Structure 1
Amino acid sequence: MILADENIGQSLIEALRSAGYAVNSIYETARGISDDAVIIRSRNPPQLILTEDKDFGEWVFAHGIRDISVVFLRYDFRDTDLLIATLLELLRTRQPDLFGAFTTVGVQKIRIRRL
């Protein structure tokens, strides 16, 4: 299951849902909640936090939050279609590897760091 942060665009959410992924959208259900509230929601049931917010890197690496799974998207808006294809392929081939990790996804590079 995926928990899409408030900053994730509807086109990306729709692409994930169309591919069969269950996506809970903060924008649709709890707009305006804090990052720590997103983290709490991501824990039960365990969900991948999909975000474009660099603050989640700070939560993990500076504050030592380890019991979450983050997929951080870095891309230019013009590359949205390519990013969607990259993300779908990553989920299809390596989804179990994304849990318990901080994953950075760009159109040219993917980095998975275990927590």
Structure 2
Amino acid sequence: MFLANKNFPRPSILLLRAAGMPVKSIQEEFQGIMDEQVIQIATAEKLTILTFDKDYGELVFRYGAANPPSVIYFREKGHDPLFAGRTLVSLLLENGARFENAFTVIEQNSIRQRLYKTGDR
């Protein structure tokens, strides 16, 4: 379901897993790979990238990554390393949020999504 980028906090990864969400981790499985390789893995395995790295917007939209993976970009890190995990658990389990075929930006008090064009994924 998710691919946590190298900058995604481990406590949030563990929280998501404890909530029953499958999460692969770049830190655990693919240390040192480039962003383009993260996109390749996410695309091949149909995983949504979790990241604090704003470069993914540029990689997906400006450079036109073919068949882009869904990305959830956290613009702010919050007050603790569990912020991202808690936010996702709340959005998914309590609010039924959907992140497929979209680039999603999560801020402290707002969420924005840019849907991919049909056929992009």
TM-score (ref. length: structure 1)? 0.89
3-state DSSP of counterpart to 1:13: helix
Contact 2:9 2:81 in 1 (8 A): no
Deviation at 1:102, TM superposition (A): 0.2
| Structure 2 match to 1:27 | 27
CA distance in 1, matches of 2:50, 2:104: 10
Q: Per-residue CA shift, 1:23-48, capped at 9, x if unaligned?
A: 00000011110001000100122000
3-state DSSP of counterpart to 1:64: coil
Q: Per-residue CA shift, 1:22-77, capped at 9, x if unaligned?
A: 00000001111000100010012200000011110111221122521000012244
Letter in 2 for 1:111: R
Contact 1:5 1:51 in 2 (8 A): yes
Identity of aligned residues (%): 38
Q: Per-residue CA shift, 1:1-39, capped at 9, x if unaligned?
A: 100001111111011011100000000011110001000
| Structure 2 match to 1:71 | 72
Say what the alpha-carbon RMSD is for the aligned residues: 1.6
Letter in 2 for 1:109: S
Contact 2:11 2:82 in 1 (8 A): no
| Structure 2 match to 1:88 | 89
CA distance in 2, matches of 1:15, 1:55: 25
Which sections of structure 2, spanning at least 5 residues, go unmatched?
117-121
CA distance in 1, matches of 2:24, 2:84: 19
| Structure 1 match to 2:112 | 111
Letter in 1 for 2:61: F
Residue 99 (structure 1) aligned with residue 81 (structure 2): no
Which sections of structure 1, spanning at least 5 residues, go unmatched?
none
3-state DSSP of counterpart to 1:86: helix
Letter in 1 for 2:88: L
| Structure 1 match to 2:119 | none
The change in CA–CA distance for 1:21 and 1:106 in structure 2 (over 3 A counts) is: same
